[in-house]
Structure 1
């Protein structure tokens, strides 16, 4: 459900990124997904969104040069404790919540060992999250070319592609400091609204 041309363009841009830029991009995509987990946690009383927020704070400080990644193994352990088992929840919301955990886990791995593959995977994951949401919640009757076209033209997909482009632009022109961290973080938080249009305020 992901447009190959879109992924090719993202892959080309990310291939030229330095290690800190790759980590920052991964962190931004993970931040954008946080409300998806928060809503799931509120509804099911599973997990602690504060643990995810703590991990994101550590990553943002790392990007700004204010934090070392030497103790990030512990962050991975704490995230594993917050990971839902999709077999135990009979509701769609478990899937975006799991995607949010995977994106954040990937961002931590990228901080520890920067990888273009990690950054590309996070971009692909968030686009897949949107595509699956649209296909299963909005238009379960569509398939094939019609479904792909519907997803490609959907406002949620277009808005998220704009976000990814802007994140890449910011990272391409900035340096790893507090000012860039603030700008990228604000962009990623998006007034508390996820790539699925889910708001922490709702």
Structure 2
């Protein structure tokens, strides 16, 4: 299972690429929220993730991390300001991208390692809401952790993380690998929450 993947077996480059690929699946969740709430800037997040891919693929790309993190800070939604579900995955996306930028700047595996946790957490939260909705006519809504783990969306998240991990294990650290990872992450044409990509 993906939760048992040992990312420390991957190089820092591989861990960064792994997290960037997961963010490809998270970005559409932010975009959907942004359009519905008329808040934020999906193009900024897209540009920041593109900068990370360019750095991974070419190595010489300079990123002003302080400026990028400051820009990101301005488009992070506050959960208190929005009363619909979409704010949660949007916040997770921003936190994940911020962790990746900070982790690259600091060469910190632990910070980069927040990304797969946030990706999984986003799916878990959404699945919990779906299961609660399905039980809404019952007096007692009881959602077990196992019910969330067994849900197809969570199974897909775990399988995707595992697939990306194994693809990276034997991959060269170059732009071709970056392209393959992006294709792999988006191969189903859906975000991590099952939202169809435009």
TM-score (norm 2): 0.89
Residue of structure 1 in register with 2:41 after alignment: 48
Q: Does 1:124 align with 2:117?
A: yes
Could you tell me how far 1:159 is from its partner in structure 2?
Answer: 0.8
Residue of structure 1 in register with 2:192 after alignment: 195
TM-score (norm 1): 0.87
Runs of 5+ consecutive residues of structure 2 not aligned to the other structure: 136-140
Residue of structure 2 in register with 1:134 after alignment: 127
| 2:2/2:159 contact within 8 Å kept | no
CA distance in 2, matches of 1:67, 1:184: 20
Q: Does 1:147 align with 2:144?
A: yes
| 1:22/1:116 contact within 8 Å kept | yes
CA distance in 1, matches of 2:62, 2:155: 34
| 2:2/2:161 contact within 8 Å kept | no
Aligned length: 192
Change (3 A) 1:42 1:182: same
| 2:103/2:110 contact within 8 Å kept | no
Could you tell me how far 1:6 is from its partner in structure 2?
Answer: 4.9
Structure 2 residue aligned with 1:111, among 104, 116, 127?
Answer: 104
Structure 2 residue aligned with 1:165, among 147, 158, 162?
Answer: 162
Could you tell me how far 1:191 is from its partner in structure 2?
Answer: 5.2
| 1:39/1:200 contact within 8 Å kept | no
CA distance in 2, matches of 1:78, 1:136: 31
CA distance in 2, matches of 1:191, 1:67: 31
